[in-house]
Amino acid sequence: MSMISRRTLAAVGAGALTLQNAAAQSYPSRPIRWILGFGAGGVGDLIARLVAPRISEGLGGQPLVIENRPSAGGIVAAEAVARAEPDGYTLLLVTTTTATAAAMYRALPFDTIRDFTFVGQLAVFEHVIATAADGPYKNLRGLIAAARERPGRINLGSIGVGSAQHLSVELFKSVAGIEATVVNYRSTPELINAIATGEVQAGFETLAPVMPQLGGRLRGLAIPAPVRFSGLPQVPTTAEEGLPDYVIRSWNGICAPAGLPPGIAERLNRELIRVAAMPDVQNRLRELGVEPMSGPPDALRDLMKAEIARYDGIVAKAGIERL
């Protein structure tokens, strides 16, 4: 390569870096679209609407405008962000569903790792194993013992084929060494009713929508997390019930299109960490059955890679047909 060519390339590179730095310094100068892959009213939507104004405060008051684009696997929302300009004005609420979709679908219109800039994690969602309050099972050990005594006769419920909840049941069967029938429902209210009436002997769901029923129609058998959830200190972990290898937690965070200038990614990450540390945000999240969780961008990227591999293994072992 000639000296002129090298100098030209160096000048072009320096010019691009200067433009990126300038963009980062002036960011944001207009509203930011925050795209969610599910409808309004769910826990993920509530979290986004809780933290969006706080993030906005740290970004000079520029609003984060939430845009709900529900679809199977959150694919429509993720594709919209993957194809957007990497200028920081289009963000994605990335979730566990993004990882399960990568495991469940034979092909996606984007690469879950390469087509995104990972900004940072926002929260983790605890799951819960619940049974009818007036049912025969007082603890998880009792349910497992009954399933071993009557292979295939116990019904376990979840929602959404290929969802984290569904795959958590398949993992539970494997770790507990039991045979059971998995029944998938279209919605959480249907699942809760099936648990309460004994149509299924236990249900597996994220904690937030089940919490209001615990102590009423439902009994919490265990939470598959490393430690007890602070809002339900009376419910043991699955490790305490004899399954130390059974841990399932959902999570979410923020991604942007690949190629986002580092300065913008760093600023957004700082805002996530700042907001996650706010006591009022933490208290409200815990009321929803959610724990605040923040960290560096690499931690979210590593989590996504690990979760895709984990769910891919669950799908393969359970023999679930990919979509």
User: pLDDT tens digits for 263-283?
Assistant: 999 999 999 999 999 999 999
- 261, 299: one domain: yes
Q: Is 159 a domain residue?
A: yes
- 178, 211: one domain: yes
Given the DSSP bridges, would you call strands 116-132 and 218-222 parallel, antiparallel or unpaired?
antiparallel
Give yes or no for residue 15 having a pLDDT over 70.
no
Q: What is the pLDDT of residue 230?
A: 86
Angle at which helix 96-104 crosses helix 75-82, to 10 degrees, equals: 100
* pTM, full prediction: 0.85
**Among residues 222, 238, 271, which one ends one of the domains?**
222
Q: Is 230 a domain residue?
A: no
Q: Is 312 a domain residue?
A: yes
**Among residues 222, 238, 269, which one ends one of the domains?**
222
Query: What is the rounded average pLDDT of the residues 135-146?
Result: 96
pLDDT tier, 318 (very low <50, low <70, confident <90, very high otherwise): confident
Query: What is the rounded average pLDDT of the residues 121-141?
Result: 95
Q: What is the pLDDT of residue 162?
A: 85
Measured between its terminal Cα atoms, the distance across the chain in Å is 49
Give yes or no for residue 192 having a pLDDT over 60.
yes
Q: Is 155 a domain residue?
A: yes
Give yes or no for residue 62 having a pLDDT over 80.
yes
- 67, 136: one domain: no
Number of structural domains, the chain? 2
Query: What is the rounded average pLDDT of the residues 112-117?
Result: 98
Angle subtended at Cα 72 by Cα 75 and Cα 122, rounded to the nearest 5 degrees: 60
- Which residues sit opposite 92 in a β-bridge? 35, 255
Query: Token pair of 84, please?
Result: 């957007």
Q: Is 145 a domain residue?
A: yes
- 311, 258: one domain: yes
Range of the domain at 84: 30-125+250-318
Percentage of residues of the chain with pLDDT beyond 90 = 80
Q: Which of 129, 143, 103, 159 has the alpha carbon at shortest distance from 235?
A: 129
d(CA 101, CA 135): 34
Q: What is the pLDDT of residue 249?
A: 93
